Structures are given as structure tokens and as C-alpha cells.
């Protein structure tokens, strides 16, 4: 076993890290350090030095992620889901969009950003070498959230069916990916739950496109009738593929879609 190098750490710095690890604290707060050393100035100084030495990673003002004492400097990166949960704090959130698409296997592309959808703020933060982006959503879009545990930390992520709704709303790559992902996953999901989520989702164009595509795949779930009713009676037609600028194509009167493939 290799010997841990404490040579660049003062006794107080080692004490803070050791005490935090003993108490099983992943996050170190300014208040905790103030109580530990009895001086706000001393606490701020120690936090600043340990951050510059790479032993703490700042999540936000007054909150730091502890780098394990056995981890060599610059060789430890926090789990991105855990870091996202600790960064966003008590705000209602879920890890979603491209991050969840990869998690659920809708794409093999590794996202360069961890997307944290939440009900309060837009923000960006570089934690370690990973970019995090908080995206504010309306409260009526906050549903379909699954709780998972990673390294003992509770993390919230959109469940597979909710992630599929988001994929229709905000696809990755070309629009054809929506059809491909739906076809590949339609027998691997709870179809009833997926349709209920679509009915609940407050963007009618998403309900129209998803309903049309599900039906074309060959699904005949009774809930499709309710989904169709949820689009309303207005004769407002949308294009199937919003990336295609033309509005020319076959008209589907039931889903009020212009099939402009």
C-alpha cells in the first residue's frame, strides 16, 4: 500500500479533511469549518488553501466537495450524478435531457454537459473538469422523477418513460432519431405510463408528434384515444419534423399533423 503524502498539508488542513471523512461528510460547508476552528477568517483561509491545493472542489458559495484524502491531487473526479445532486441542493430537480438519454441507452454519445432540470434557476458551473448546466422548467413539467442511490447519495433522474417524453420534446441529432428511439424502446417501456406522461405534458405539439409516431409503429393502446382527445379540437396543424422548413406534406387530420418528412 502506498504511503499517503501529507507533506503539503498543514496539521489543521489534515484535521479538517480527517474529521470530515470520519463524520462521513461529502460536503464541507463554511459554517462547519467555522465551528471547527472558531474563527470565520481562519475558516475562510483554510478553505481557500485546500481548494487551491486540489483537496476541495467548490460546488457553490460556502459549499465544497471533499476530495478523499487518499486520492492523489488531480487524479480524482466526483461521480457526475452525485456532484449534480450536491450542487443543486434542495431545489426540486432531476438529471435529464442528454445526460438521461445516455443513461437510458437512447444514445451512445457521451454528453459533454450534465443537465440538471429544476424549477428555480438557470445556471452553469464547472466542477472538476465537468460542465454542469441547470435549466429552469415550469413546475407542471416536473414529474416522472426516479430516485436512485449512487455512492450512498440519493440522486433524482427522469425515469425511462419521462426521459422518452423529453426526447420527443428535445431530441438529440436529427428528427429521425425520435422515430428510431421510439421503435427501439416501445416494447421495453411501460407504454401506459408513457402515454399518461404525454397527456400530462403541457406542450400540445409533443403530444401530437408522439401520438402520430406511436400509432404508426403499430401501437393500439386504449390510452391513445385519451391522448388524441388531449390535443383539443382546434384545427391547428403542426409539421411532423420542425427541423424541416417546408410545410408541404400529407395531412393527418386525426393528429393534426403535416407529415413533412
Q: How far apart are the first and last CA of the chain?
A: 61
pLDDT score of 241 = 94
CB atoms within 10 A of CB 74: 10
Q: Are the C-beta atoms of residues 240 and 257 closer than 8 Å to each other?
A: yes
Please, which pLDDT band fits residue 73 given cuts at 50, 70 and 90?
low
pLDDT score of 5 = 54
Tell me which of 174 and 190 has the higher pLDDT.
190
Residues 6+ apart with CB under 8 A from 261: 240, 241, 244, 249
Give the pLDDT mean for 142-148: 98
Please, which pLDDT band fits residue 3 given cuts at 50, 70 and 90?
very low
Tell me which of 173 and 115 has the higher pLDDT.
115
pLDDT score of 174 = 87
pLDDT score of 26 = 81
The domain defined by 11-66 folds into Arc Repressor Mutant, subunit A (1.10.10)
Q: How far apart are CA 110 and CA 208, in angstroms?
A: 29
Report residue 196 CA to chain centroid gap. Answer: 21
Lookup: cell for 147: 430516485
Give the pLDDT mean for 197-215: 97
pLDDT averaged over the chain?
Answer: 91
Give the pLDDT mean for 174-201: 94
pLDDT score of 103 = 97
Q: How far apart are CA 145 and CA 224, in angstroms?
A: 23
pLDDT score of 77 = 83
Please, which pLDDT band fits residue 74 given cuts at 50, 70 and 90?
low
Does pLDDT of 72 surpass 80?
no
Residues 6+ apart with CB under 8 A from 139: 92, 119
- DSSP letters spanning 146-164: EEEEETTEEEEEE-HHHHH
pLDDT score of 67 = 86
Does pLDDT of 82 surpass 90?
yes
Please, which pLDDT band fits residue 129 given cuts at 50, 70 and 90?
confident
pLDDT score of 16 = 92
Instruction: State how far the alpha carbon of 244 is from the alpha carbons of 122, 140, 207, 255, in Å.
Output: 29, 29, 19, 18
Does pLDDT of 201 surpass 70?
yes
pLDDT score of 2 = 40
Does pLDDT of 31 surpass 70?
yes
Extents of the domains making up the chain:
11-66, 80-158, 163-259
Please, which pLDDT band fits residue 258 given cuts at 50, 70 and 90?
very high
Does pLDDT of 190 surpass 90?
yes
Please, which pLDDT band fits residue 48 given cuts at 50, 70 and 90?
very high
Q: What is the CA radius of gyration of the chain?
A: 24
Tell me which of 203 and 77 has the higher pLDDT.
203
Amino acid at each position: 500500500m502506498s504511503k499517503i503524502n501529507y507533506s503539503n498539508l498543514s496539521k489543521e488542513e489534515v484535521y479538517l479533511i480527517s474529521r470530515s471523512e470520519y463524520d462521513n461528510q461529502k460536503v464541507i460547508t463554511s459554517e462547519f469549518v467555522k465551528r471547527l476552528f472558531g474563527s470565520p477568517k481562519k475558516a475562510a483561509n483554510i478553505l481557500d488553501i485546500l481548494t487551491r491545493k486540489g483537496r476541495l472542489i467548490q460546488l457553490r458559495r460556502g459549499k465544497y466537495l471533499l476530495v478523499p484524502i487518499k486520492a492523489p491531487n488531480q487524479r480524482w473526479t466526483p461521480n457526475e450524478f452525485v456532484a449534480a445532486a450536491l450542487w443543486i441542493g434542495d431545489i426540486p430537480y432531476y438529471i435529464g435531457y442528454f445526460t438521461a438519454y445516455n443513461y437510458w441507452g437512447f444514445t451512445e454519445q457521451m454528453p459533454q454537459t450534465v443537465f440538471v432540470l429544476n424549477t428555480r434557476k438557470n445556471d452553469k458551473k464547472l466542477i472538476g473538469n465537468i460542465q454542469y448546466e441547470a435549466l429552469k422548467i415550469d413546475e407542471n413539467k416536473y414529474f416522472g422523477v426516479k430516485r436512485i442511490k449512487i455512492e450512498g447519495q440519493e440522486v433524482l433522474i427522469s425515469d425511462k418513460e419521462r426521459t422518452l417524453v423529453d426526447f420527443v420534446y428535445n431530441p438529440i441529432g436529427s428528427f429521425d432519431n425520435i422515430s428510431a428511439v421510439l421503435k427501439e424502446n416501445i416494447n421495453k417501456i411501460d407504454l401506459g405510463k408513457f402515454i399518461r406522461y404525454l397527456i400530462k405534458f403541457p406542450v400540445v405539439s409533443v403530444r401530437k408528434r408522439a401520438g402520430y409516431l406511436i400509432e404508426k409503429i403499430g401501437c393500439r393502446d386504449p390510452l391513445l384515444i385519451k391522448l388524441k382527445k388531449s390535443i383539443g379540437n382546434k384545427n391547428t396543424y403542426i409539421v411532423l419534423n420542425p427541423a424541416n422548413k417546408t410545410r408541404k406534406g400529407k395531412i393527418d387530420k386525426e393528429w393534426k399533423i403535416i407529415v413533412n418528412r
